[in-house]
Amino acid sequence: MRKLQSYGKEIAIGFVPVLFLFLLYVGFPPVILITGAIALLALFMLARSRGLAMGTAGKKTVARKPEFLTFEDIGGQDQPKKELMEALNFLVNRDKIQKLGIRPLKGILLTGPPGTGKTLLAKAAAHYTHSAFIAASGSEFVEMYVGVGAGRIRDLFKEARREAVKLKRDSAIVFIDEIDGIGGKRDGGQHREYDQTLNQLLTEMDGIQGDENIKVLLVAATNRKELLDPALLRPGRFDRHIQVDLPDKSGREHILKLHARNKPLFPEVSLAKVAEETFGFSGAQLESVMNEAAIYAMRDDSEMLSAYHLTQAIDKVMMGERMDRETTKEERERVAIHELGHAIVAESVRPNSVAQVSLTPRGQALGYVRHNPQQDRYLYTQAILEEQIMIALGGCVAEELIYGGRSTGSRGDFEQATNIVRTLIESGMSSLGIIHPQALTQEQWSKENAAILNDLLDRTRAMLGKHINTFKFMLSILIKEETLSGQQLREHLQQTAA
């Protein structure tokens, strides 16, 4: 296609002068010919300037229209939906807000972790307000040539107004995903292209240019709000900052039900139980769980999704794909002891918290323990954090008790433990009391970190020392079966305790 366009340009360049000379030869008025030549040249320069404004490679900011989506199709975000709908009502009920003297909103910023549904909320907002909808990404605006990004911003808002007129609507929503790509803080450097792009966006939001009869609302999304320029975040531009967090248990169950609508499930499948086992999952991860479960069902030639398929899907999304790694008998035994150490400590400090112990290699892990939190938790006490550290240390302590030494498999556990120790110190839960982290020297950090970890190591050692017989009893079962359910683990612990 590019070759054809190149050939067409060459033919036009060669043909036009010949045609001009021929018409002049046959007696066509020179004034008309010159006027026509000037008009053609002007059209050519205009087309070329537009092409440059859209990008050096003919790249154009695509006006993407939304699929049919309503707020009822989005699960797990009741509070963000409520806040967003309240803000959108200012756009819908114009007469009412004019009577009360309310200034129309210029922008809504959606912030939160990736995969929580920020883009879906923007699409549903367009349907809710019956507005024209234009979507773009922050990376589409910045180029190495100064002025290209600013031109694309102008074109984006013009296209939104044209789309609104075309659809006979009086409002338009412009959605910019990953707005930190163009709205980052200005540092006073020589990045003129970034500054001009951001300045043009600020100008469009202020409504200095454009048809005031068409109300344009900018909805933007980012997971790095702290990187945005203060000029963007001030009132009068982004008037609403809506936090879109990870869903809670009831929200996760709602999302799972939405994605299970087109998937046949066995009657015994409990999506509420799946929601319990997916603490910390985003909406995108929950959709992936249902999709992976359907893939596992297809592999097994099953016409319906079972609880086993969902369990496998959770493990895959959480840990990665199952790996076909060949391990020695000694390595398998050490991994089994390590994971049993985690599981036994977890059951000792938090009864009924273990969902499964597995020796199946996934991702970078040779084995893992999947925990089943009782409830979503957002505040942590000192006791809870210390219990979490003991669970992390359970693997290396188990190796010490059985083999007399540790292995490199504990490296990730130590990293997790030291991060929790840092949280303890910064939260004023250590012997140092309430202190600013920057006021501590490296020596003080190391001393306090070692004191906390050594104390918890001793407590973990004493706890696991009471279960030596349990290790020997369950080791052969775990190696033979490769997996041990939480219920089986609790039954074995009760038997050996008796």
Catalytic residues: 339
Token reading at 342? 């985690």
Phi and psi angles of residue 243, each rounded to the nearest 5 degrees, phi first: -85, 125
Residue 45's identity, in one-letter code, is: M
Q: How many residues does the chain have?
A: 498
Q: How far is CA 195 from CA 21, 149, 182, 199, in A?
A: 49, 10, 9, 6
Q: How far is CA 422 from CA 425, 447, 450, in A?
A: 5, 12, 11
Rounded Cα gap, residues 172 and 159, in angstroms: 10
